């Protein structure tokens, strides 16, 4: 691991971070929590047409015409050291969002990207922005995301791309003490990843000065809007220089999102690779809970079925999710939970166990939905009705990934 040099800014050396000792990256890892801010949760999905939860997966054949990119990663005019790291990560052919967005981002254009989850948009903005920093070491980029899980996911991706490049950063999310984040922000950071509430707090404490940031990524802006972060986003944008590059990503283009785009971006290039509301590879159905029946017994019987091998269960409340996971453990299932009342180290441990197939069931609130990137989830079960159809779409998008067939079941009482 290389220590931090002080050529570009007079600051004390940052001590090595053991988590990345083998990669050569010194990204400051802070496994904390996302902000608890958000709008009230009332008026749940009784208003959603239940027929929307029923949809047969579209089985495609090998003869289906596939996307043919116009570039390879080797073609992009980026730093050769970055290209080597991209190759090490196994990237060869860009996804549609990468193939379309990267050339414009490399030119410094503002971008509006409309894309489903799981389309590779993280690399679509990280690759050109890393190249931007490699060309100018004084550049700093702010990446704003709705949840701590998504911040962690982006951090993991970034660390692979910047291994050995002597680039540095810090992740700033809520839930635990700020002291380590405040300390890390005293150093030069090429990348700051964070959730809106914690970033705003750090700005107000004068620990984060956005006047030095000329690039910002607003990822999953629609989700941040849903969670009540609109004022925080506007607050941060107002603290940045007027000459800046903005990369804006959303799964939807609602009137509210269009208003944000008009306020935040200048002559943006629009890139849309959205393929539909829900994955064509997800078989969706409902489970009707008859009057007098016990939902827990129904879930128990489902989980005992042979093909329910790796199941993500979504509940409405933090307390309910914790109780449900505990009840499953009492019934003999290997289960853990992820929700906002759990500290980040416990959340990450549960997620790691799920990834390694040490758990059959992970129970989570829908806020965690966008940050869960786990392969081979066999089933998503909505134990409680989602509060909006958009949340439903994001929850079931955790299965049926990478061309595989997934199944989503929603309990209806």
How high is the pLDDT of residue 314? 94
How high is the pLDDT of residue 293? 87
**Nearest Cα to 321, choosing from 393, 369, 289?**
369
pLDDT above 60: residue 105: yes
Q: Do domains 18-30+64-272 and 51-57+279-412 have the same CATH topology?
A: yes
pTM (whole model) above 0.75: no
pLDDT digits (tens, 9 = 90+) for 206-217: 999 999 999 999
The residue extents of the domains of the chain are 18-30+64-272, 51-57+279-412
Kindly state the average pLDDT of the residues 299-318: 92
201-215 CB burial, b ≥16 within 10 A, e <16: bbbeeebbebeebbb
- Phi-psi domain of 335 (left: phi exceeds 0; alpha: psi -120 through 50; beta: other): beta
Instruction: Please state, in angstroms and rounded to a whole number, the distance separating the CA atoms of residues 251 and 117.
Output: 7
**Span 51-57+279-412 CATH architecture:** 3-Layer(aba) Sandwich (3.40)
pLDDT digits (tens, 9 = 90+) for 33-53: 333 334 433 344 445 676 777
Binned at pLDDT 50, 70 and 90, residue 79 comes out as very high
Token pair belonging to 234: 């506007």
Instruction: Please state, in angstroms and rounded to a whole number, the distance separating the CA atoms of residues 207 and 187.
Output: 11
Token pair belonging to 369: 């939905």
Binned at pLDDT 50, 70 and 90, residue 274 comes out as low
Share of the chain above pLDDT 70, in %: 80
When comparing pLDDT for 266 and 24, which is higher? 266
- How far is it between the farthest Cα atoms of the chain? 70
When comparing pLDDT for 412 and 32, which is higher? 412
Cα-to-chain-centroid distance, residue 213: 22
Residue 367 burial (CB count, 10 A):
24
Beta-sheet strands, E only, within 104-210: 111-114, 141-144, 169-172, 191-194
Pick the CATH number of 18-30+64-272 from 3.30.540.10, 3.30.70.2740, 3.30.720.200, 3.40.50.300: 3.40.50.300
How high is the pLDDT of residue 371? 62
pLDDT digits (tens, 9 = 90+) for 107-135: 999 999 988 667 789 999 999 999 999 99
pLDDT above 80: residue 178: yes
Instruction: Please state, in angstroms and rounded to a whole number, the distance separating the CA atoms of residues 391 and 212.
Output: 35
pLDDT above 80: residue 194: yes
Q: Is 18 helix (H, G, I), strand (E, B) or coil?
A: helix
With 0-12 CB in 10 A as exposed, 13-18 as middle and 19+ as buried, what is 47?
Answer: exposed
pLDDT above 50: residue 263: yes
pLDDT above 70: residue 88: yes
pLDDT above 90: residue 164: yes
How high is the pLDDT of residue 168? 94
pLDDT digits (tens, 9 = 90+) for 375-401: 789 999 999 988 877 778 778 878 877
Binned at pLDDT 50, 70 and 90, residue 136 comes out as very high
When comparing pLDDT for 339 and 59, which is higher? 339
Kindly state the average pLDDT of the residues 205-229: 92
Q: How many degrees, rounded to 5, is the angle at CA 165 between CA 164 and CA 171? A: 95
């Amino acid at each position: 691991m290389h220590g931090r040099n002080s050529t570009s800014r007079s600051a004390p050396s940052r001590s090595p971070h053991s988590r990345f000792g083998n990669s050569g990256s010194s990204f400051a890892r802070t496994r904390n929590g996302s902000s608890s801010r958000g709008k009230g949760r009332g008026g749940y999905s009784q208003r959603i047409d239940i027929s929307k939860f029923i949809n047969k997966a579209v089985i495609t054949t090998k003869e289906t015409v596939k996307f043919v990119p116009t570039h390879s990663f080797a073609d992009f005019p980026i730093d050769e050291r970055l290209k080597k790291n991209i190759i090490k990560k196994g990237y060869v052919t860009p996804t549609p969002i990468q193939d379309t967005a990267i050339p414009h981002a490399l030119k410094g254009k503002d971008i509006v990207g409309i894309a489903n989850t799981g389309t590779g948009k993280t690399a679509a903005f990280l690759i050109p922005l890393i190249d931007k920093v490699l060309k100018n070491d004084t550049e700093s980029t702010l990446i704003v995301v709705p949840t701590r899980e998504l911040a962690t996911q982006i951090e993991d991706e970034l660390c692979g791309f910047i291994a050995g490049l002597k680039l540095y950063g810090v992740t700033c999310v809520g839930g635990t003490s700020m002291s380590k984040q405040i300390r890390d922000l005293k150093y030069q950071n090429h990348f700051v990843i964070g959730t809106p509430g914690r970033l705003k707090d750090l700005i107000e404490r004068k620990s984060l000065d956005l006047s030095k940031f000329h690039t910002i990524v607003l990822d999953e802006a629609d989700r941040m809007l849903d969670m009540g972060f609109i004022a925080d986003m506007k607050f941060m944008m107002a603290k940045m220089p007027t000459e800046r590059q903005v990369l804006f990503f959303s799964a939807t283009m609602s009137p509210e999102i269009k208003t944000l785009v008009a306020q935040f971006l200048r002559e943006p290039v629009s890139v849309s690779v959205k393929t539909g509301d829900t994955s064509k590879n997800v078989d969706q159905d409902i489970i009707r809970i008859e009057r007098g029946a016990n939902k827990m017994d129904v879930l128990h019987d489902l989980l005992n079925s042979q093909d329910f091998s790796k199941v993500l269960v979504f509940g409405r409340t933090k307390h309910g999710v914790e109780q449900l996971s505990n009840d499953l453990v009492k019934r003999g299932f290997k289960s853990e939970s992820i929700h906002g009342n759990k500290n980040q180290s416990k959340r990450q441990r549960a997620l790691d166990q799920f990834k390694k197939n040490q758990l059959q069931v992970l129970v989570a609130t829908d806020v965690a939905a966008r940050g869960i990137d786990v392969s081979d989830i066999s089933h998503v079960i909505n134990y409680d009705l989602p509060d909006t159809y958009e949340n439903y779409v994001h929850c079931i998008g955790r299965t049926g990934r990478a061309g595989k067939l997934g199944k989503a079941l929603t309990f209806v009482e």
